[in-house]
Amino acid sequence: MAHFIFSGLLIMALNTVSSNTFASSETATFAGGCFWGTESLFRETTGVVATVVGFTGGHVPHPTYEQVCQGDTGHAEAVDILFDPTRISYEALLKLFWENHDPTTLNRQGPDVGEQYRSVIFVHSTEQKQAAQASKDALIRSKAFPRPVVTAIEEAGPFYRAEEYHQQYFEKKGVAPTCHR
């Protein structure tokens, strides 16, 4: 097994992915409602090397799911994505993000309500920030939504891995993804 650091987390990956893939990989972090559906979407995407669900954007270190659900940690349910930019661009990931949640609902996605379900792009570089802002501006100009786009663009901070039962949730349950589709 190959080991690599992924947003401060030690992840173990199967040998089917070469260590060169990790060396050239980049991280993207998105929050767009329930992280189960968001993770499932990106895990199925060619060029994505690994995904981890967790919490970011808040003020409580190492929060639990229960703490985040209480609504006073400031964290969003998010997905950290390790991707190979030679196989998929950050802009393509942004396109998937916009197409698979409602960026006009503040602190809500479908039946999930609360600050932890807010829409946020957490950027890891100046280039990501510029690309995220350009894609948001293009979405607004397109008038694809009748309401204002409320998605925030924020600097990525500490990312805290959620409990193991949240990782690859739909695969573990043996059911088709039911959110974000």
CA distance 111 to 178: 12
Token representation of residue 179: 């959110």
- Cα–Cα distances (Å) from 70 to 66, 135, 148, in that order, read 6, 32, 27
Which residue is it, tokens 């573990």? 172
CA distance 53 to 128: 20
What's the length of the chain?
Answer: 181
The residue from 11, 13, 31, 34 that is catalytic is 34
Establish whether 69 is a catalytic residue: no
CA distance 66 to 114: 13
Helices 35-43 and 90-99 cross at an angle (nearest 10°) of 140
Amino acid at site 155 = E
Which residues are identified as catalytic? 34
